């Protein structure tokens, strides 16, 4: 009983902080997109590619990782100003950690902020960060039953990227099944089948982000 109440308090505190984060972002005209998803599904690679294709915007990133700063290092090396956030024992970012990362970014100089969460499909679901859109990335190599097994992250997302379709045959997976499963869970979801290796499907993701940014209500 006490544990449940404590959990509720934590969630409410996080929701309030997430609302504050959104106000801060809107105040600076920053459009923020959560990039969630499975370990190794291609989240950092996607941010690298999207930043290159969205060259009319000033793009920055916050990269959540349990202990390392490898992803923020990769993104900085790719010319995307990035702040690494370590979550320690936690398997997700929270609104407080993200707010602290804002202090290390020049928000006035950012149009689009990608926030890469710690790789997994479970813990980040309930922790809003204050972003405007949520994109979940999974790849065919996790198995084409991954979507069915992790419904909540697709229910709470705006878009799903089914990545690595270039190796679908090699891993005996059906990207179409993954798309159908995702749409069954959430008919409002925009679903993209992509390969960062061949470039397939990526322009549709870029256009979706452009449209969403244009429709940002400040």
Ligand X SMILES: Nc1nc2c(ncn2[C@@H]2O[C@H](COP(=O)(O)OP(=O)(O)OP(=O)(O)O)[C@@H](O)[C@H]2O)c(=O)[nH]1
Q: Please give the residue ranges that form the binding site for ligand X (CB under 6 A).
A: 37, 39-45, 71, 119, 163-164, 166-167, 195-197
Cβ closest to Mg ion, residue 71 vs residue 158: 71
Which of ligand X, Mg ion, none does residue 186 bind to, with CB < 5 to 8 Å depending on kind? Answer: none
Which distant-in-sequence residues (6+ apart) come within 8 Å of 105 by Cβ?
60, 62, 81, 83, 113
Q: How far is the CB of 165 from ligand X (least distance, A)?
A: 7
21 binds, among ligand X, Mg ion, none (CB under 5 to 8 A by kind): none
CB-based contact 137:35 (threshold 8 Å): yes
Residue 23 or 197: which CB sits closer to ligand X?
197
Residue 206 CB, nearest approach to ligand X (Å): 15
Name the phi and psi angles at 201, rounded to 5.
80, -10
User: Nearest approach, Cβ of 44 to Mg ion (angstroms)?
Assistant: 3
- Rounded to a whole number of angstroms, the minimum distance from the CB of residue 124 to ligand X is 12
Which element (helix H / strand E) includes 34? strand 31-37
| Among candidate residues 121, 94, 209, 91, the one with its CA nearest the CA of residue 159 | 209
Q: How far is the CB of 205 from ligand X (least distance, A)?
A: 12
Say which entry of ligand X, Mg ion, none residue 45 contacts (CB below 5 to 8 A, set by partner kind): ligand X
Which lies closer to ligand X via its Cβ, residue 157 or residue 163? 163
Can you spell out the DSSP letters for 183-218?
A: HHH-TT-EEEE--TTT-TTHHHHHHHHHHHHHT---
Closer residue to ligand X in complex, CB, 124/130: 124
Q: At what angle do helices 2-27 and 95-102 cross, to 10 degrees?
A: 30
Of 17 and 83, nearer to Mg ion (C-beta) is: 83
Do 101 and 131 meet the contact criterion of CB atoms below 8 Å apart? no
């Amino acid at each position: 009983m006490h544990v449940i109440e404590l959990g509720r308090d934590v969630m409410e505190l996080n929701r309030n902080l997430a609302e504050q984060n959104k106000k801060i972002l809107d105040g600076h005209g920053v459009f923020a997109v959560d990039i969630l998803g499975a370990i190794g599904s291609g989240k950092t690679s996607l941010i690298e590619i999207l930043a290159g294709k969205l060259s009319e915007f000033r793009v920055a990133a916050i990269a959540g990782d349990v202990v390392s700063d490898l992803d923020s290092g990769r993104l900085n090396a790719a010319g995307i100003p990035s702040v690494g956030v370590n979550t320690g024992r936690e398997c997700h970012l929270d609104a407080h950690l993200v707010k602290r990362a804002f202090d290390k970014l020049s928000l006035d100089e950012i149009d689009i902020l990608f926030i890469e969460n710690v790789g997994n499909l479970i813990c980040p679901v309930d922790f809003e960060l204050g972003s405007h859109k949520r994109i979940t990335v999974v790849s065919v190599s996790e198995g084409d039953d991954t979507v069915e097994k992790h419904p909540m992250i697709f229910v709470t997302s705006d878009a799903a990227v089914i990545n690595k379709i270039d190796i679908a045959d090699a891993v005996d997976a059906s990207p179409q099944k993954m798309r159908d499963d995702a749409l069954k869970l959430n008919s409002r979801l925009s679903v993209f089948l992509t390969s960062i290796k061949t470039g397939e499907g990526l322009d549709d993701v870029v256009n979706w982000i452009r449209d969403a940014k244009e429709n940002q209500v400040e």
